[in-house]
Amino acid sequence: MAFANLEPPSTGSPAIHWGVVDTMSSVTQNTDDRDERVYTPSGIEIEVLYDQAPDPELIGEPGVYPFTRGPHPTMYRGRLWTMRQYAGFGTAEETNTRFRSLLGAGQTGLSVAFDLPTQMGLDSDHELASGEVGKVGVAIDTIDDMRRLFHGIPLGEVSTSMTINATAPILLLLYRLVAAEQGVPPERIRGTIQNDILKEYVARGTYIYPPRPSMRLITDVFSYAAAEVPNWNTISISGYHIREAGATAAQEMAFTIANGVAYVRAALDAGLAVDSFARRVSFFWNGHNNFFEEIAKYRAARRMWARIMRDDFGADVGSQRMRFHTQTAGSTLTAQQPLNNVVRTTVQAMAAVLGGTQSLHTNSFDEALGLPTDQAARLALRTQQILGNESGLADTVDPLAGAYFMESLTNSLEEKAVELYDAIIGMGGAVRAIEDGWMQAQIEQAAYEEALRQESGESVVVGVNRYSDTDEEPIPVMRVDPVLERNQCARLEEWRATRDGDAVAAKLELVAETAAGTDNVVYPMGEALGVGATLGEVSDALLGVFGKY
Is residue 301 domain-resident? Answer: yes
Please check whether residue 339 lies inside any domain of the structure. yes
d(CA 19, CA 491): 54
Q: Please compute the mean of the pLDDT values over residues 264-290 and round it to a whole number.
A: 95
Residue 131 has pLDDT above 80, yes or no: yes
Statement to judge: residues 511 and 441 lie in one domain:
no
Q: Does residue 429 have a pLDDT over 50?
A: yes
Rg (C-alpha) for the chain, rounded Å, is 23
Q: What is the torsional sign of CA 496, 501, 504, 508?
A: positive
Asked whether residue 156 is assigned to any structural domain, the reply reads no
Computed over every residue of the chain, the mean pLDDT equals 91
Domain that holds residue 450: 60-79+167-181+190-456
Flag whether 48 is in a domain: no
Residues 247 and 355 in one domain: yes
Peptide bond into 66 cis (omega under 30): yes
Is 521 found in the same domain as 429?
Answer: no
Check pLDDT > 90 for residue 7: no
Q: How many CB atoms lie within 10 A of CB 342?
A: 16
How many C-beta neighbours within 10 Å does residue 170 have? 26
Question: What are the tens digits of pLDDT across the range 216-250?
Answer: 999 999 999 999 999 999 999 999 999 999 999 99
d(C-alpha 77, C-alpha 330), whole Å: 29
**Residue 364 CB neighbours (<10 A):** 32
CATH number at residue 311: 3.20.20.240
CB-based burial label for 60 (10 Å; 0-12, 13-18, 19+)? buried
CA pair distance 219, 213, nearest whole angstrom:
10
Query: Which whole number is the average pLDDT over 533-539?
Result: 98
513 and 390 belong to one structural domain: no
What is the tally of structural domains in the chain? 2
Q: Are residues 504 and 445 in the same domain?
A: no
- Distinct helix (H) and strand (E) counts, the chain: 22, 11
Task: Kindly state whether residue 51 falls inside one of the protein's structural domains.
Answer: no
Residue 35 binned pLDDT confidence (cut-offs 50, 70, 90): low
Question: Per the domain annotation, does 27 fall within a domain?
Answer: no
- Same-domain pairing of 519 and 407: no
Q: What are the DSSP calls for 187-219, one per residue?
A: GG-EEEE----HHIIIII----S-HHHHHHHHH
Half-sphere exposure of 32 (CA within 13 A, CB side): 0
Cα dihedral: 39, 40, 44, 49 (round 10): -70
Considering the domain architecture, whether residues 324 and 398 belong to the same structural domain is answered as yes
Give the pLDDT band (50/70/90) at residue 535: very high
The reply to whether 475 falls in a domain is: no
Domain boundary among 433, 456, 479: 456
Q: What percent of the chain stands above pLDDT 70?
A: 94
240 and 382: one domain? Answer: yes
Confidence of residue 466 (pLDDT cuts 50, 70, 90): very high
Nearest to 173 by CA among 195, 205, 196: 195
Query: What pLDDT, in 10s, does the model give residues 364-420?
Result: 999 999 888 889 999 999 999 999 999 999 999 999 999 999 999 999 999 999 999
Whether 348 is covered by a domain: the verdict is: yes
280-286 mean pLDDT: 95
Average confidence (pLDDT) over 489-497: 97
Write down which residue in 456, 482, 507 finishes a domain.
456
Residue 46 belongs to what H/E stretch? strand 45-46
- Asked if 397 and 75 count as a contact pair (C-beta separation under 8 A), the reply is yes
DSSP helix, strand, coil percent of the chain (3-state; round to 5): 50, 10, 40
> Of all residues in the chain, what percent carry a pLDDT higher than 90?
85
pLDDT of residue 3 exceeding 50: no
Lowest mean pLDDT among 1-10, 78-87, 205-214: 1-10
416 and 537 in a single domain? The answer is: no
| 441 shares a domain with 524 | no
Tell me: pLDDT of 29 over 80: no
Last residue of a domain, one of 390, 423, 456: 456
Say if strands 38-39 and 45-46 run parallel, antiparallel, or are unpaired.
antiparallel
Q: In angstroms, rounded to a whole number, what is the distance separating the alpha carbons of residues 521 and 527?
A: 10
Q: Strand pairing of 82-87 and 45-46?
A: unpaired
Distance (Å, rounded) from C-alpha 177 to C-alpha 171? 10
**Do 535 and 444 belong together in one domain?**
no
C-alpha pair distances (Å), 312 with each of 205, 264, 307, 422, 430:
30, 11, 8, 13, 16
Q: What is the dihedral sign for C-alpha 232, 237, 238, 239? A: negative
Residues 229 and 305 in one domain: yes
How does pLDDT run across 263-273, given as a tens digit for each residue?
A: 999 999 999 99
